[in-house]
Copies of this chain bind each other. A is one copy, B any other.
Amino acid sequence: MGLIVQKFGGSSVKDAEHIMNVADIITKTYSDGNSVVVVVSAQGDTTDELLEKASEINPKASKREMDVLLSTGEQISISLLSMAIEKLGYPVTSLTGWQAGFITDSTHGNSRIKRIEKERLVNELDKKNIVIVAGFQGINAYDDITTLGRGGSDTSAVAIAAVLHADLCQIYTDVDGVYTADPRIVPKAKKLDEISFDEMLELASQGAQILHTRSVEMAKKYGVNLEVLSSLTRRPGTKIKEDVSVEKLLIKGVAKDDNIARLSVVGVQDVPGIAFKIFSQLAAKKVNVDIILQSVGRDNKKDISFTVSTSQKDEALEVLDSIKNIIKPDEIVADEEVAKLSIVGAGMLANPGVAAGMFEALSDAGINIQMISTSEIKISVLIDKKDTRKAIAAIHDKFIV
């Protein structure tokens, strides 16, 4: 018995049948004696339909008006879900973002939550109401409607859990938890019962698309206990929290990201300041660079390689082209046929055997490693895209199964 925040995504409320299923989960939680706040996204295809309407009229519409339009999606969801709960005979009230007190900055389309004025939420809970809140949205200081951008509803749920000091924040998705690898690629992948915030963050940013990093970062910052679980199976999911009790598994998972490109600046002068020129210009154009590799200089020349997301490849190439007469490379090469694999787990660097084991597994499988990057809890390698599945299986076999 306590206060539980539950978040349901668009696929969980896509039609009347799914909405009744979600209403059943919510009212069961309430019947068990808990106070319940629910955060819900727009129904399945609603957002796409609204985007289509907008693009027919003005493909370059302002972000302010896009926010006014898109925020109706969650408003439809909260009312329908509340009606479903009314039908089951429970006390319920729906709240839009502004009614729930979400105050954000003014970055339309990608706002940050500044604070939650929680009086209304607290009042509704005091009245023993189940509270259904529209995720993804808020208002700025001028009472204009804003939206939170990607992963916004997860962030809304964690923010409410933080300000209300909820005992648990459950994120319902269409998978039943966090796995050691993508189960569609590695059939032997295991569901984790628990994982730490930092490990989840590395997995999330490495392409395990379950929880947006932003919501995990917020949960870590405010100490919100998270659970990822499925609205369909209703089995226990994966708990994400600060202190994971027993570290049975050193490696918590294998993640892949194949929406990346490798760029190489070949044969630049081996003098100080070249790397600074390249990466300061990239930063000025807001190109996010991930792994960086610099070859040891030879014959007074060196190579600098780095990875960017595929969507920023062309911008990165333009930047390199614009400074060509300063850095004077022999050649600039771009390659999209690459993938990044990462293994994530606490204490990685303190266990040198882990990196060695990963390289051994890849070597045994005949896979060439192009680049390597390591952190406290992560080791990433860049490989040929065609080797992705084989490499994930090899690493998983080595460490997890």
Contact = CB atoms under 8 A, between A and B. Distances in A.
B79 A68 contact: yes
Contacts of A93: 64
Contacts of A144: 99
Interface in A340-381: none
Contact of A78 (B56, B62, B68, B98): B68
Contact of A79 (B65, B98, B143): B65
Interface string A57-91: 11011101110110110011011101110110000
Interface residues of A, number: 38
B65 A83 contact: yes
A86 to B, nearest CB: 6
B58 A87 contact: yes
A104 interface: no
Q: How many copies does the complex hold?
A: 2
B76 A69 contact: yes
A75 B76 contact: no
In the A-B complex, the 3 residue pairs with the smallest Cβ-Cβ separation, listed nearest first, are A69-B79, A61-B83, A72-B72
Main secondary structure on A side of the interface with B: helix
A120 interface: yes
A28 interface: no
Contacts of A82: 61-62, 65, 68
Contacts of A65: 79, 82-83, 86, 94
A376 to B, nearest CB: 45
Interface in A282-311: none
A36 interface: no
A90 to B, nearest CB: 12
B61 A69 contact: no
Contacts of A94: 65, 68
A120 B143 contact: yes
A20 B58 CA distance: 10
13 contacts: A16-B56, A20-B57, A57-B83, A58-B84, A60-B86, A64-B93, A65-B83, A68-B94, A69-B80, A69-B83, A71-B75, A72-B76, A75-B75
Given A53-B76, A61-B79, A69-B79, 5 more contacts: A57-B80, A61-B86, A65-B83, A68-B79, A72-B72
Contacts of A99: 143-144
A232 interface: no
A83 B96 contact: no
Interface in A16-69: 16, 19-20, 50, 53-54, 56-58, 60-62, 64-66, 68-69
